[in-house]
Amino acid sequence: MPELPEVETIKRYLNKAISGKRIVNIEILSKKQFPDNPKEVIGAKILLVKRRAKNLIINLSNKKALVVHLKLSGQLIWERKAKIPVKSTRVIISLNGGKLFFNEMRKFGWIKILNQNQLDLELARFGPEPFSRDFSIEYLQKAFGGISRPIKTILLDQEKIAGIGNIYANEALFEAKINPQKSANKLTTIEIGKLQKAILLVLKEGIKYGGASAADQMYIRPDSSHGSYQQHFRIYQKDGEKCRKCKAIVKRISLGGRGTFFCPRCQPRRQR
């Protein structure tokens, strides 16, 4: 599922592929997923593709932006040559020189047209970007303080930290040797430091490998190629296998309704 590294990979690809091109036509096959009037952006030129949290922001020459959220199963596929839609295609954005297909099996994702004010409002509620200066140990101490919910559910809270999803939350907690069920307010300063470093490490790795395209995942890059981070998973979906560090059997539980993977020996409930 597209999280920060996957969206970042798509962003970098599209920036090279479609910047400077003009929107010629927009074909909407699922109105719910493109609720605005496409006429607002026909003729506009694409200036820049950006990312905030798991949102892709396509800045246009008419001061508006196309904001894309891929949710669980979204794909943005860039095709230079004529190509027909697939079953999950919901929107086709035709540019001069190719077509951008928005495919999304589950129909949760969307594309919105926002002006500058609306965009600022939409993005204001997200917590700091992990790769920004605001993502400091001091910030995390404040953000985790007074919260008795499990640390893993906090990592997934986009208002606390932007862009982390289930894969990278599991990976970062394993890397930091923190039990996912531990209350956020019980983390020590040392643990918070380790967690901050671990988050940056696993996100960087994810980007390096072009994101994670595991078997049951829909994520692929705009050129239809797969990312390879799934080959480097430490803990995600490793339940029943031996921990790569200590050979204990990796456990799987459900936290906040999400699959949660951890090593009972490397990430014990209580410190020893």
Partner DNA sequence: TGATATGTTATCTT
Partner DNA sequence: CAAGATAACATATC
Tell which positions 4-43 bind DNA, by CB under 7 A: 32
| Shortest Å, Cβ 254 to DNA | 6
Q: State which residue, 117 or 148, has the beta carbon closest to DNA.
A: 148
Active-site choice (21, 186, 251, 258)? 258
Q: State which residue, 36 or 98, has the beta carbon closest to DNA.
A: 36
| Shortest Å, Cβ 199 to DNA | 15
CA distance 247 to 93: 49
Where does this chain touch DNA (CB under 7 A) — which range of 77-85, 152-160, 194-202, 220-228? Answer: 152-160
Residues 52, 126 contacting (CB under 8 angstroms): yes
Q: Which residues of 6-43 are buried (b: 16+ CB within 10 A; e: fewer)?
A: bbbbbbbbbeebbeebbbeebebeeeebbebebebbee
Q: Based on the residue annotation, tell me whether 54 is a catalytic residue of this protein.
A: yes
Asked if residue 3 binds DNA (CB under 7 A), the reply is: yes
Tell which positions 59-118 bind DNA, by CB under 7 A: 69, 71-72, 87, 105-108
Asked if residue 258 binds DNA (CB under 7 A), the reply is: yes
Q: Based on the residue annotation, tell me whether 80 is a catalytic residue of this protein.
A: no
Residues 162, 131 contacting (CB under 8 angstroms): no
Asked if residue 186 binds DNA (CB under 7 A), the reply is: no
Q: Based on the residue annotation, tell me whether 264 is a catalytic residue of this protein.
A: no
With the CA atoms of 271, 259, 76 and 108 taken in that order, what torsion angle do they form, in degrees rounded to the nearest 10? -130
Tell me which residue of 79, 40, 32, 80 sits closest to 60, measured CA to CA: 40
Q: Based on the residue annotation, tell me whether 268 is a catalytic residue of this protein.
A: no
Tell me which residue of 253, 252, 232 sits closest to 241, measured CA to CA: 252
| Shortest Å, Cβ 33 to DNA | 9
| DSSP characters over 46-111 | EEEEEEETTEEEEEETTS-EEEEE-TTTEEEEEESS-----TTEEEEEEETTEEEEEEETTS--EE
| Shortest Å, Cβ 72 to DNA | 4
Tell me which residue of 182, 193, 181 sits closest to 254, measured CA to CA: 181
Element (H, E) at 42: none
Residues 33, 16 contacting (CB under 8 angstroms): no
| Shortest Å, Cβ 8 to DNA | 13
Asked if residue 158 binds DNA (CB under 7 A), the reply is: yes
For DNA, which residue of 259, 264, 265, 268 counts as binding (CB under 7 A)?
259
For DNA, which residue of 5, 127, 130, 165 counts as binding (CB under 7 A)?
165
Residues contacting 16, CB < 8 A, separation 6+: none
Asked if residue 234 binds DNA (CB under 7 A), the reply is: no
Where does this chain touch DNA (CB under 7 A) — which range of 20-28, 128-136, 160-168, 202-210? Answer: 160-168
Query: Which residues here bind DNA, judged by CB under 7 A?
Result: 1, 3, 32, 53-54, 69, 71-72, 87, 105-108, 147-149, 153, 156, 158, 165-167, 215-216, 254, 256-259
- The set of catalytic residues is 2-3, 54, 258
